[in-house]
């Protein structure tokens, strides 16, 4: 019965106190409680996918750079292009169909065992892997052609020593700047992935709340997603400042 601006102001005040309101559909439960019950699952899945994607991308990107313009590089470039082009939920459906249904190698859905995390993790990690592979390959090739790398080779350092001691670290710093955007992609993609694999995370809760018009849950989950993204970007900035002493947070 209050004016709209007063309702909005009260909603913002409640958010600052960690109160996102009451769900319309879940027996009048607190939205904050519903989110906190599922938040750990989503963080686990997202972090696991980010680690797998970045680790694999750095490894394959380095292999591709060291085999520049040969068949290995060409094959890896095609694979990374496909990984970028195909949405995560399509990858998830393909993994579910072949590794779950047809070959029965891994559990189809659920959450609780390590095996149940593999398919959704790879569904989210493959696009990240593809982006890191392409970007790290380009950075490695550029770094290996710089003057200080050529000078190190002229002083007698082997190609492996130059790559391990100089090229890897300097090429990795620009890649770290992608972690924030990649975390955002994982957050947005995890909603459908959690729904496809029946994972009890906030993404699944978000998707199921849309057709039922459970607006408090939708708004609360959106705000939590935004907060998670800001934390991911902050952590990325801190890591970059540690890896590269030339960078200092202002």
The pLDDT, as a whole number, for residue 211 is: 93
The pLDDT, as a whole number, for residue 247 is: 64
The answer to whether residue 173 is domain-embedded is: yes
The pLDDT, as a whole number, for residue 59 is: 92
Q: What distance, in Å, lies between the first and last C-alpha atoms of the chain?
A: 46
CA distance 43 to 85: 25
Domain count, the chain: 1
For residue 106, give the CATH number of its domain: 1.10.3720.10
The pLDDT, as a whole number, for residue 246 is: 67
Domain that holds residue 97: 28-243
The answer to whether residue 60 is domain-embedded is: yes
The answer to whether residue 220 is domain-embedded is: yes
The answer to whether residue 15 is domain-embedded is: no
The answer to whether residue 4 is domain-embedded is: no
Local confidence pLDDT in tens for the 250 residues of the chain: 688 888 889 988 999 988 999 998 887 789 999 999 999 999 999 999 999 999 999 999 989 988 888 999 999 999 999 999 999 999 999 999 999 899 989 998 889 899 999 999 999 999 999 999 999 999 888 888 888 888 887 888 877 777 777 788 788 888 888 887 888 778 878 889 999 999 999 999 999 999 999 999 999 999 998 888 888 888 888 887 877 776 654 5
Kindly state the tokens that stand for 64. Answer: 């591709």
The answer to whether residue 19 is domain-embedded is: no
Q: What is the 3-state secondary structure (H, E, C) of the chain?
A: CCCHHHHHHHHHHHHHCCCCCECCCCCCCEHHHHHHHHHHHHHHHHHHHHHHHHHHHHHHHHHHHHCCCCHHHHHHHHHHHHHHHCCHHHHHHHHHHHHHHHCCCCCCCCCCCHHHHHHHHHHHHHHHHHHHHHHHHHHHHHHHCCHHHHHHHHCCCCHHHHHHHHHHHHHHHHHHCCHHHHHHHHHHHHHHHHHHCCCCCHHHHHHHHCCCCCHHHHHHHHHHHHHHHHHHHHHHHHHHHHHCCCCCCC
The pLDDT, as a whole number, for residue 96 is: 93
What residues pair up with 22 in beta bridges, in sequence order?
Answer: 30
The answer to whether residue 130 is domain-embedded is: yes
The pLDDT, as a whole number, for residue 28 is: 78
The pLDDT, as a whole number, for residue 214 is: 93
The answer to whether residue 225 is domain-embedded is: yes
């Amino acid at each position: 019965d209050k004016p709209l601006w007063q309702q909005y102001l009260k909603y913002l005040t409640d958010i600052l106190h960690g109160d996102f309101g009451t769900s319309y559909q879940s027996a009048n439960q607190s939205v904050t409680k519903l989110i906190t019950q599922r938040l750990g699952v989503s963080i686990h899945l997202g972090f696991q996918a980010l680690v797998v994607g970045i680790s694999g991308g750095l490894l394959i990107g380095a292999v591709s750079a060291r085999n520049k313009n040969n068949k290995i590089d060409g094959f890896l470039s095609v694979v990374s292009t496909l990984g970028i082009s195909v949405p995560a939920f399509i990858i998830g459906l393909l993994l579910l169909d072949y590794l779950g249904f047809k070959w029965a190698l891994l559990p189809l859905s659920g959450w609780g065992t390590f095996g149940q995390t593999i398919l959704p993790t790879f569904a989210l990690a493959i696009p990240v892997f593809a982006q890191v592979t392409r970007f790290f390959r380009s950075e490695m090739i550029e770094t290996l052609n710089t003057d200080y790398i050529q000078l190190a080779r002229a002083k007698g350092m082997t190609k492996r020593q130059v790559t391990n001691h100089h090229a890897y670290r300097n090429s990795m710093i620009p890649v770290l700047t992608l972690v924030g955007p990649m975390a955002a992609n994982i957050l947005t993609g995890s909603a459908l992935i959690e729904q496809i694999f029946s994972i009890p995370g906030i993404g699944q809760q978000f998707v199921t709340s849309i057709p039922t018009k459970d607006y408090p849950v939708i708004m609360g989950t959106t705000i939590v997603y935004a907060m998670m993204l800001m934390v991911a970007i902050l952590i990325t900035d801190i890591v970059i400042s540690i890896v590269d002493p030339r960078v200092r947070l202002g």
